[in-house]
Amino acid sequence: MSVRYIYQRQGWPKFTWNIEGIITKVSTIRLQQGRLVGRMLALGFPYADEASLDMVSDNIVKSSAIEGEHLDLSQVRSSVARQLGVEVAGLKESGRYVDGVVAMTLDATQMYDKPLTQDRLFGWHAALFPAPYSSTRRIKVAAWREDKNGPMQVISGVVGKEQVHFEAPPAKCVDSEMQRFLAWFNASGNLEPVIKAGMAHLWFVTIHPFDDGNGRIARAITDMCLAQSEQCSRRFYSLSNQFLNFRNDYYNELEHAQKGTLDISRWLEWFLEMLATAITGAEAKLSHVLLKGEFWHRFRNVPLNARQILVVNRLLDGFDGNLTTLKYSKLVKCSTDTALRDVTELIAFGLVRKKPAGGRSTAYELIMDKRT
């Protein structure tokens, strides 16, 4: 039998890699992870929860988008908030399917320290497919694929001119392949976690054990490994977003690895590059949360009332237009005299100041300069 794919090679799945070629990247990523997680957690739980809520929601939407499926971000955010117990105003109703996708992702990251088992994967698959259909095609749910309609293939191109990019192991091999994968996953405690994340991703999608949903589940497994690496269930960056930005490269690198040798150095180098970029970009995406946390930390000892706290948070979140005493009174439902007293106190405390003259009403803005 000619060898076309990595799983057909002698020694599969004993992967090797050039540790000298990736050790610097691994070290840098571990420092990045520690710095980002430490900085976010130092803000306190409300801000860490808000940051994690935003990033988990984005990660779920982007993971589905890689497969060409577009989820409503507001529904996803609503479902994540409910399932995490995070209080968010004005939550949108989320559908059964969105709730299932969110449940799978949160189980992977919130329960990162629990074993990955066949039953757990079947539960994830059932959450992804509450009805036994993918588009209009009937599929097996919460069970390994059977290949009744032919081998599992990754194909592109129009009908009659299809290009086969990859053919997965025969269905009869899936159970034994997955038992070997799960045994390795749960016993690989000595393997550097970010290397484990890249290795697990490639290994799982190569087995391709389900009729559909393999990519999304592989990315959930990857996020589980990253949560293990940080010993933190909160997620502050999105690797799926990075994969989506380089979607063609993502598929090309997977295909190259699946048609290559057991030396997966190139795949790991690319995977780690994507991971490093995702972490670097996270601070920009979470800048508003960091800004709020650092602002409130500076004024943590200032005795503000509930109205003042509400208005300051609105300003930090991006207030539409200029803040005047009239807008203040309408926002917190108080008299203009009370609004003026509140604003005067905020000025005295050093939180806000008058904006340069312009217009008929005096307007106010936050003082964002750092001070002791």
Single out the residue of 307, 314, 324, 312 nearest to residue 352, CA to CA: 312
pLDDT at 45: 76
275-290 burial by CB neighbour count: b if 16+ within 10 A, else e? bbbbbeebbebbeebb
pLDDT at 136: 67
Overall pTM surpassing 0.75 (yes/no): yes
Per-residue pLDDT tens for 35-69? 999 988 888 777 788 889 989 999 999 999 999 99
Per-residue pLDDT tens for 82-129? 998 887 766 778 888 999 999 999 999 999 999 999 999 999 999 999
Single out the residue of 62, 145, 139 nearest to residue 101, CA to CA: 62
Per-residue pLDDT tens for 1-47? 578 999 999 999 999 999 998 999 999 999 999 999 998 888 877 77
pLDDT at 48: 85
Cβ within 8 Å of residue 225, ≥6 positions away: 193, 194, 196, 197, 200
* Better pLDDT: 350 or 317: 350
- Helix, strand, coil share (%) of the chain residues, nearest 5: 60, 5, 35
Per-residue pLDDT tens for 265-282? 999 999 999 999 999 998
May I ask the CATH class of domain 6-286?
A: mainly alpha
Position 372 pLDDT exceeds 50: no
Mean of per-residue pLDDT scores for the chain:
91
For the chain, domain boundaries: 6-286, 299-366
In CATH terms, 299-366 corresponds, of 3.30.70.1230, 1.10.10.10, 3.40.50.300, 3.30.70.141, to 1.10.10.10
Return the half-sphere exposure (C-beta side, CA atoms, 13 A cut-off) of residue 79.
24
> Average pLDDT in the 246-266 region?
97
